[in-house]
Amino acid sequence: MVYSPAGRLLTLLDVLQSRPSVSATDLADRLQVETRSVRRYILLLQDMGIPVESRRGRYGGYRLRRGYKLPPLMLTPDEIEAAVLGAQWVAGRGDPALARFSFGAMKQVSPALATISLPPVITVSSPSST
């Protein structure tokens, strides 16, 4: 499989989430790059605020900080619908700050809404228009 730089970064993230620790050599083999490139990809993830830890030595490698979980990168249509309905409920019944946070979350989900068909009652709108 031939990877693009973005594909390598996402693959690296996926591997780090699925294994407790992984060596630079194993990552380099998986990404089809040199270990030096693995270090650069790790730095990119760290620059994005993802807490990747490294350990040197014979049993060294990379791992995500213990307890750190990234949100899913992909949501199913049912998960998107549930998120939108929940956000609308919060926006209509929560305090104004919560309504703004709810709207912000839905703005992030809205690109995925174009790929699925939701019931017509479900829309993403700003808190001021609800």
- Give exposure, 93-128, as e/b (b: 16+ Cβ within 10 Å): eeeeeebebbbebbeeeeebbeeeeeeeeeebeebe
Of the candidates 64, 93, 114, which is a domain's last residue? 64
Give the residue numbers spanning the domain of 25: 5-64
* β-strands 52-55, 61-64 pairing: antiparallel
Least confident of 14-18, 89-93, 109-113: 109-113
- Radius of gyration of the chain from its Cα atoms, rounded to whole angstroms: 19
Q: Are residues 54 and 95 part of one domain?
A: no
Residue owning tokens 């060596």: 23
The C-alpha angle with vertex 64 and arms to 63 and 67, in degrees rounded to 5, equals: 130
* pTM for this model (two decimals): 0.56
Cβ within 8 Å of residue 3, ≥6 positions away: 11, 31, 32
13-68 pLDDT tens trace: 889 988 889 999 999 999 999 999 999 999 999 999 999 999 998 888 999 998 88
Is residue 71 domain-resident? no
Considering the domain boundaries, does residue 45 fall inside one? Answer: yes
Same domain, 83 and 110: yes
Domain count, the chain: 2
CATH number for position 9: 1.10.10.10
Backbone angles phi, psi at 22, to 5 degrees: -145, 140
Residue 70: inside a domain: no
Q: Tell me which residue has tokens 């760290």.
A: 46
